[in-house]
Amino acid sequence: MSDEVTTGRTDRPASVEPETDPQSAALGVENLTRTFGEVVAVDGASLALESGELRAVIGPNGAGKTTLFNCVMGTLDPTAGSVYLDGRDITDAPEQRRPHLGMARSFQSNQLFAEQTVFENVRLVVQTARRGAFSMDLFRSHYDVGRDRAAEIAETVGLGSQLESAAKNLPHGDQRRLGIAMALATDPEVLLLDEPTSGMSPGATTQTAQLIEDIRDDRGLTVVLVEHDMDVVLSVSDRISVLDRGRVIATGPPEEVQGDRTVQDAYLGGMREEL
């Protein structure tokens, strides 16, 4: 991390990574590019996260945050570039392998097993984490697998009292938390959260920010947080990476990025006075 911590506005150019080598980082992205036809959604982005770091990725709408996210998680194949997890090149690992390698995600929209109970949603992921991507586990009842652990994880995110509710009947904010619980149930080392507070009330947003910090502190996870809410970003993240038109234009501690002129021009725009 940079020694220089600037608190006020500076006119110096954007601080661009790499501080560390992506290939040896806890989670590394190296020159990742993804195009859709003519459109370049992500353009040579590089990130290097230290173990235990909480990194926010911000950027204006259409900056390529979700595309980058999907490329890192294997939902999309990158056009060029590589993704490293703990020093291993996992660019070609299929999506369903990644939770077993130690990385998990939550979705921007609520993706749940909607008809099932909260408990079954989490239990199923615990089961998958224990038994692997495929298991011919035919001779037991599902009542014998992962119940204690599932209840424990649901409790961590504050859903302990709603275990028996159908996932589709939960309020929006609780559904988002259930998404986080399911990602945790894979027992990850790296957790990627795609706008975990979107659509939440201010109160629930604060709670969720606290939850994300707690999870990181208790489990020593490396967290990537794609987020719109600047309060959350500024309060929880160790470092912030700013994405603009598919490029990482700045990376640094919150105060530094906040004061960076390039960032303000590209992203914060009219909000400059406010900050």
- Sites of contact with another protein (CB under 8 A): 73, 75, 95-100, 104-105, 107, 111-116, 119-120, 124-125, 127-129, 131, 133-143, 145, 147-152, 155-156, 160, 163-164, 182, 185-186, 218-219
Instruction: Give the residue among 125, 238, 121, 221 at the shortest CA–CA distance from 176.
Output: 121
CB of 194 vs another protein, minimal distance in Å: 11
Pairing of strands 239-244, 54-58: parallel
CB of 115 vs another protein, minimal distance in Å: 6
- Asked if 227 and 56 count as a contact pair (C-beta separation under 8 A), the reply is yes
Nearer to another protein, 156 or 262 (CB): 156
Question: What residues does 33 pair with on adjacent strands?
Answer: 80
CB of 26 vs another protein, minimal distance in Å: 19
**Amino acid, single-letter form, for residue 196:** P
Nearer to another protein, 218 or 273 (CB): 218
Nearer to another protein, 181 or 250 (CB): 181
Nearer to another protein, 136 or 203 (CB): 136
Half-sphere exposure for 62 (CA within 13 Å, toward CB): 5
CB of 209 vs another protein, minimal distance in Å: 18
Is the alpha carbon torsion for 32, 34, 35, 39 positive or negative?
negative
Question: What residues does 194 pair with on adjacent strands?
Answer: 226
Nearer to another protein, 139 or 274 (CB): 139
Nearer to another protein, 69 or 267 (CB): 69
What gap in Å lies between CA 251 and CA 179, rounded to an integer?
A: 27
CB of 155 vs another protein, minimal distance in Å: 6
Instruction: Report the chain's C-alpha Rg in angstroms.
Output: 19
Nearer to another protein, 77 or 155 (CB): 155
Is the alpha carbon torsion for 36, 76, 116, 151 positive or negative?
negative
Task: For residue 92, count other CB atoms closer than 10 A to its CB.
Answer: 11
DSSP label of 116: S
Is the alpha carbon torsion for 150, 161, 121, 97 positive or negative?
negative
CB of 138 vs another protein, minimal distance in Å: 5
CB of 197 vs another protein, minimal distance in Å: 20
